Amino acid sequence: MTADWLLRAPCRGLDGFTPSEDDWETAGDLKRLCGPQLPTCGPCPFRAVCIATVKPAQALFDGIAGGRLWCNGTAIAALDDVFEDELTEPKLRASCGTEAGAKDHRRHGERVCPSCAQAEREASARRKEARAKQPQQLQLDFAAT
Ligand code: SF4
Ligand SMILES: [Zn+2]
């Protein structure tokens, strides 16, 4: 069943918002194909719900949603009056094997996975090493003056 807001959206019944993959290769192709349709989103009151529904970043969406033109989930063009808070899509989680990934595990009440734990250990070792180097440099600076 089509959502009620979609039936009232300015793009209702219009083509060219989600081009078939056979029709384009590059972001430039996508801009040429979809760019002319982008102003349709201008007066649309459903931009936030459109983005929340399509989830362009998560879905690696190609096409127009919420006043933006997306290519592989990244906005490559947008109307002038789009607002950051229309991007209601939940933030993607940081990938595993990174310090940010470890933080995300904790935020979600999960155990930190081995590759995130390893990334954290390495980052903390790097910081420790950098700190250890700092006083020496200061001393050298003093000696030079
Ligand atoms: S924001 Fe654009 S694509 Fe989304 S419903 Fe409105 S007109 Fe359609
Ligand atoms: Zn992880």
In a domain, 109, yes or no: yes
Residue nearest to atom 8 of ligand 1 (CA): 11
Q: Give per-residue pLDDT as tens, 117-140.
A: 999 999 999 999 988 887 665 555
Average pLDDT over residues 101-114: 86
d(CA 45, CA 66): 9
In a domain, 137, yes or no: yes
The secondary element (H helix, E strand) that includes residue 117 is helix 114-144
Residues 103 and 82 in one domain: no
- Position 125 scores a pLDDT of 94
Expressed as residue numbers, the domain containing 107 is: 99-144
Task: Please give the torsion angle defined by the CA atoms of residues 49, 38, 90 and 46, in that order, rounded to the nearest 10 degrees.
Answer: -10
Pocket of ligand 1 contains residue 5 by CB under 6 Å: no
Choice between 114 and 82, residue whose per-residue pLDDT is larger: 114
Pocket of ligand 1 contains residue 117 by CB under 6 Å: no
Residue nearest to atom 7 of ligand 1 (CA): 41
Q: Residue 26 above 90 pLDDT?
A: yes
In a domain, 129, yes or no: yes
Comparing CA positions, the residue from 20, 24, 18 lying closest to residue 70 is 18
Pocket of ligand 1 contains residue 46 by CB under 6 Å: yes
The most distant pair of C-alpha atoms in the chain lies apart, rounded to whole Å, by: 77
Q: Give per-residue pLDDT as tens, 75-90.
A: 999 999 888 778 766 6
Distance (Å) from CA 22 to ligand 1 centroid: 23
Comparing CA positions, the residue from 96, 89, 91 lying closest to residue 110 is 96
Say if CB 129 and CB 121 are below 8 A apart. no
Q: Give per-residue pLDDT as tens, 38-73.
A: 999 999 999 999 998 998 888 889 999 999 999 988
What sign results for the dihedral spanned by CA atoms 105, 106, 112, 115? positive
